[in-house]
Chains A and B, each alone.
Chain A
Amino acid sequence: MSELIVKNVSKSFDGRKIIQNVNVTLHEGELVCLLGVSGGGKTTLFNVISGLTIPDEGQVFLDGEEITGKPGKISYMLQKDLLLPYRTIEDNVALPLVIKGMSKKEARKQAAPYFAEFGLEGTEKKYPRQLSGGMRQRAALMRTYMFSRNVALLDEPFSALDTITKSSMHTWYLNIMEQIHLSTLFITHDIDEAILLSDRIYLLTGKPGEITQEIVIREPKPRRADFNLTEEFLQYKRLILEKIG
Chain B
Amino acid sequence: MRKKFQSITSKINTIAAILILLIIWQTVSALGIVPGYMLPSPVQVVKAFIQEFPLLMENAKVTLLEAFIGLACGVSFGFVMAVLMDRFEVLYKAFYPLVVLTQTIPTVAVAPLLVLWFGYEMLPKIILIVIATFFPVTVGVLDGFRSADKDTMNLLRSMGASEFQIFRYVKLPGSMGQFFASLRISVAYSVVGAVISEWLGGFSGLGVYMTRVKKAFSFDKMFAVIFLISLISLLLMKLVDFLQKKCMPWEDTKNE
Contacts of A41-72 to chain B: CB distance below 8 A = 47, 50-52, 71-72
Q: Are B161 and A86 in contact (CB under 8 A)?
A: no
Contacts of A75-120 to chain B: CB distance below 8 A = 75-76, 78, 80, 82, 84-87, 95-96, 98-100
**Could you tell me the distance in whole angstroms from the C-beta of A230 to the nearest C-beta in chain B?**
37
Interface digits, A215-231 against B, CB 8 Å rule (1 contact, 0 not)? 00000000000000000
Residues A130 and B176 in contact in the complex (CB < 8 Å), given A75-B158, A99-B161: no
Residues A82 and B248 in contact in the complex (CB < 8 Å), given A95-B169, A99-B165, A130-B254: no
Is A147's CB within 8 Å of the partner chain B? yes
Q: Are A72 and B160 in contact (CB under 8 A)?
A: yes
From A73, A76, A127, give the contact of B250 (CB < 8 A). Answer: A127
* Main secondary structure on B side of the interface with A: helix
Q: Are A72 and B256 in contact (CB under 8 A)?
A: no
Is A74's CB within 8 Å of the partner chain B? yes
Chain B interface residue count, CB cutoff 8 Å, equals: 23
Q: Are A50 and B173 in contact (CB under 8 A)?
A: no
Is A129's CB within 8 Å of the partner chain B? yes
Is B83's CB within 8 Å of the partner chain A? no
From B158, B160, B248, B254, give the contact of A100 (CB < 8 A). Answer: B160
Is B159's CB within 8 Å of the partner chain A? yes
Which segment of B93-101, B147-155, B238-246 sits at the interface? B147-155
Q: Are B255 and A129 in contact (CB under 8 A)?
A: yes
Q: Are B255 and A72 in contact (CB under 8 A)?
A: no
Residues A127 and B152 in contact in the complex (CB < 8 Å), given A71-B158, A86-B174, A86-B176: no
Q: How far does the alpha carbon of A75 sit from the alpha carbon of B161 in the complex, in Å?
A: 11
Can you name the residue of chain A whose Cβ is closest to the Cβ of B256? A130
Q: How far does the alpha carbon of A72 sit from the alpha carbon of B126 in the complex, in Å?
A: 47
**Could you tell me the distance in whole angstroms from the C-beta of B256 to the nearest C-beta in chain A?**
5
**Could you tell me the distance in whole angstroms from the C-beta of A81 to the nearest C-beta in chain B?**
10
Counted as pairs of residues, one from A and one from B, with CB atoms less than 8 Å apart, the total is: 63
Can you name the residue of chain A whose Cβ is closest to the Cβ of B254? A130
Is B170's CB within 8 Å of the partner chain A? yes
**Could you tell me the distance in whole angstroms from the C-beta of A78 to the nearest C-beta in chain B?**
6
**Could you tell me the distance in whole angstroms from the C-beta of A20 to the nearest C-beta in chain B?**
23
Q: How far does the alpha carbon of A80 sit from the alpha carbon of B153 in the complex, in Å?
A: 13
Q: Are B151 and A84 in contact (CB under 8 A)?
A: no
Is B156's CB within 8 Å of the partner chain A? yes
B160 neighbours in A (Cβ, 8 Å): 71-73, 99-100
A73 neighbours in B (Cβ, 8 Å): 160
B61 neighbours in A (Cβ, 8 Å): none
Q: Are A96 and B159 in contact (CB under 8 A)?
A: yes
Q: Are B149 and A71 in contact (CB under 8 A)?
A: no
Can you name the residue of chain A whose Cβ is closest to the Cβ of B153? A82
Q: How far does the alpha carbon of A110 sit from the alpha carbon of B46 in the complex, in Å?
A: 63
Can you name the residue of chain A whose Cβ is closest to the Cβ of B149? A82
**21 pairs, A vs B, C-beta closer than 8 Å:** A52-B154, A52-B157, A71-B160, A72-B158, A72-B159, A75-B158, A76-B158, A78-B155, A82-B149, A82-B151, A82-B152, A84-B152, A84-B173, A86-B173, A95-B169, A99-B160, A99-B165, A100-B160, A126-B253, A129-B255, A130-B253
Which residues of B line the A interface, CB within 8 A?
A: 149, 151-152, 154-161, 165, 169-170, 173-174, 176, 248, 250, 253-256
Task: Give me 11 other A-B pairs in contact (C-beta within 8 A), A74-B158, A98-B169, A99-B159 excluded.
Answer: A51-B158, A52-B158, A84-B170, A85-B250, A86-B173, A95-B156, A96-B159, A99-B165, A99-B169, A127-B250, A130-B255
